[in-house]
Amino acid sequence: MKGRVLVNSRAAQHAIILSVQLNSAFWSRYQDLVREVVLPYQYEILNDRVPGVEPSGAIRNFRIAAGIEQGEFTGMVFQDSDVAKWLEAVGHALKSKRDAALEKLADDVIDLVVAAQQPDGYLNTYFTIKEPGKRFTNLMDCHELYCAGHMIEAAVSYYEATGKRKLLDAMCRFADLIADTFGPNEGQIHGYDGHQEIELALVKLYHATGEQRYLDLARYFLDARGTEPNFFLEEWERRGLQSFWWPWMKEPDLAYHQAHKPVREQDVAVGHAVRAMYMYTAMADVARLTGDESLRKACERLWEDVTRRQMYIIGAIGSTHQGEAFTFDYDLPNETAYAETCASVGLIFFAKRMLELSPKAEYADVVERALYNAVIGSMAQDGKHYCYVNPLEVWPRANEENPDRKHVRPTRQAWFGCACCPPNVARLLMSLGDFIYTWREDRRTLYVHLHIGSDVEWELEGARVRVSQESALPWRGETSLRVSAAEGPRRFALAVRIPAWCAGEPVIRVNGRTLSPEEVRVEDGYAVIEREFADGDEVAFHLPLAARFVVSHPELRATNGMAAIERGPLVYCVEEADNGRNLAALSVDLDAPFAEVPCHIEGVDVVALEFEGYRRDDQAFADGSLYRPVSPEAKQEHRVNIRAIPYFLWGNRGLGEMRVWLRSR
């Protein structure tokens, strides 16, 4: 992390990790896939060179805005952000492994992006090409600052990876223009963007540059949001009561944009789920960096609401496709779930900031849940097919023929008209190292949030200390941490998360000796081992990992009387490929033991689970009747062997039904 400037003590608590390098067989495979397949594939798509995929136009838009090519703007008003997310992912990729060819591609794209920047620093191809003169007139609908935020994130990522300042400097110029344009002073726009994103990006820019004004601007956008008089309502009137998106809209839906009340007064997650996650992420950042207690409390309330009352078991959020939105507490229908990939990525961003605010295992539990299920499940093993909506239940015929379920696609798609999700997954996977550890200088503690094989290096009293983690997750619960302290022993603490899925007390050994429970302090879900660590010291964990049925809170109406299956961090699902059609006719006995069966799906060696269950007979209905009085025949079930596989591998064996929740007896 070359060139990073440490700007203040609060930030410094977390900023002195020097590097994290993955060495996990499970996750390195994903990073290799992103590096070798996803990034080149997405680059081809951004350049309109993939046959059969709707032209993106994203790179071409920059060429037109730069005056290199003639033509019309193509795609969504936020098409620029696809290029930004790709660049950001490339930055993360280069951090772990320099690659001259990839860097050359990115440098060329950056040249093009900067060429499209206007003389005053403004950058947005839609407004430059299609609506010159209209910049900053429809912030609610048109994603200008959202696109700016993504390009800022790209600039920071690329600068951190390569030390190259071209895009960073360009985006500082744009950020300066935005800081001049927006704010509480006379002559400034007292507004904010309809799609939050710039707030968290400005915090990153602040970290990268040390410029306080970027942090102040992030805070301004949060402070102004949802206050009276409402900016979006005023803007709506100024532009003649017209929505950019929906001609029939009668008035703005402020809650959709989380602009219905000041952010500090928000208790319940509402509206567009991705917007909400990006905003909460920035709120937690700003709360930590400025010591803002009311903002921290709002983050805690919102976290609790999202994760305890509005989150699907796969770590996905968004109960309705209408507005890609939250609905309300405990409303988590399976058939019509939205569960957008980007929202799970955003939830992981939010969780990371909560961990930085205060390390509690529950935050990392959610990171793990979203990561191992919704996020990696959203991408096919070929790296070229994606879910926008992550299904809890697939019934291919219903997903084709019932319009209420058409947004749930029964197979992963090659690309999307609104292509936000695939590059979001790419940037998350390539920056996964950033989510594993935090160092708290004030506690002299290295927090190990995720059991993911990796080497972490940080500075302690002028010396470099390294911890090498190895982990057999998600298949087995063995993790070890080996300390390298070549410059002599150092006293510090390792705080290692005990995952919520542990099926019993973990066994912890230090240099081969098992610790007694009294020797382990557990704080906020972390086992804290504090000692003078010498070079070669090893702390090993055995985390009991067992397949289990999971049930939901009785208020969660949709899954009462049902059970899901988890094994460690993995949620399981049943598929037609293993269990035949009509998975709704299956039921499970919650006491059934599981057999673990090694199998192989799309190049992945997995632990499948088998157990005895039941399937309803249909003989009593052989007369074609739809409803029958109950009778021994009509309720007859026969025993069947049910096989479940990890959710993230669903849909790899042909079109068929899939379910996460099974009826329980």
Residues identified as active-site: 324, 420
Q: Which amino acid is at 437?
A: Y
Asked if 132 is part of the footprint of its own copies (rule: CB under 8 A), the reply reads no
Asked if 212 is part of the footprint of its own copies (rule: CB under 8 A), the reply reads no
Q: Are 501 and 477 in contact (CB under 8 A)?
A: no
Q: Which residue has the tokens 């005990």?
A: 498
CB nearer its own copies, residue 31 or residue 310: 310
Pick the stretch among 20-28, 140-148, 213-221, 329-337 that binds its own copies (CB under 8 A): 329-337
CB-side neighbour CA atoms (13 Å) of 313:
31
Paired tokens of 409 = 């696609």
Q: Compute the distance between CA of residue 220 and CA of residue 214 in angstroms, rounded to an integer.
A: 10
Asked if 100 is part of the footprint of its own copies (rule: CB under 8 A), the reply reads no
Phi, psi of 564 (to 5 degrees): -110, 175
Count of residues near its own copies by CB under 8 A? 62
Q: Minimum distance between the CB of residue 329 and its own copies, rounded to whole angstroms?
A: 9
- The angle subtended at Cα 196 by Cα 194 and Cα 202, nearest 5°, is 130
CB nearer its own copies, residue 238 or residue 635: 635
CB crowding 371-399: b at 16 or more within 10 Å, else e: bbbbbbbbbbbebbbbbbbbbbbbbbebb
Pick the stretch among 19-27, 33-41, 170-178, 629-637 that binds its own copies (CB under 8 A): 629-637
Asked if 68 is part of the footprint of its own copies (rule: CB under 8 A), the reply reads no
Shortest CA distance to 64 belongs to which of 108, 114, 106, 116? 116
CB nearer its own copies, residue 431 or residue 664: 664
Residue 341 three-state SS: helix
Write the interaction track for its own copies spanning residues 634-663; mark x where CB under 8 A is met and - where it is not: xx---------------------------x
CB nearer its own copies, residue 53 or residue 398: 398
Instruction: Identify the burial level of 514 via C-beta atoms within 10 angstroms of its C-beta, where 0-12 means exposed, 13-18 middle and 19 or more buried.
Output: exposed
Residue 638 three-state SS: strand
Asked if 313 is part of the footprint of its own copies (rule: CB under 8 A), the reply reads yes
The H or E element containing residue 217 is helix 212-224
Phi, psi of 471 (to 5 degrees): -145, 140
Q: Minimum distance between the CB of residue 562 and its own copies, rounded to whole angstroms?
A: 9
Q: Minimum distance between the CB of residue 284 and its own copies, rounded to whole angstroms?
A: 20
Q: Compute the distance between CA of residue 389 and CA of residue 342 in angstroms, rounded to an integer.
A: 9
Q: Minimum distance between the CB of residue 189 and its own copies, rounded to whole angstroms?
A: 31
> Which residue of 317, 539, 563, 609 would you call a contact of its own copies, by CB under 8 A?
563
Cα dihedral 266, 269, 271, 276 sign: positive
Shortest CA distance to 255 belongs to which of 319, 338, 326? 326
Asked if 560 is part of the footprint of its own copies (rule: CB under 8 A), the reply reads yes
Subset of 395-454 contacting its own copies (CB under 8 A): 395, 397-398, 401-404
Asked if 503 is part of the footprint of its own copies (rule: CB under 8 A), the reply reads yes
Pick the stretch among 153-161, 174-182, 513-521, 555-563 that binds its own copies (CB under 8 A): 555-563
Write the interaction track for its own copies spanning residues 339-378; mark x where CB under 8 A is met and - where it is not: ----------------------------------------
Q: Name the site residues for its own copies (rule: CB under 8 A).
A: 304, 307-309, 311, 313, 319-323, 327-328, 331, 333, 335-336, 395, 397-398, 401-404, 503, 548-558, 560-561, 563-564, 566, 582, 584-585, 587, 590, 616-618, 621, 624-630, 634-635, 663-665
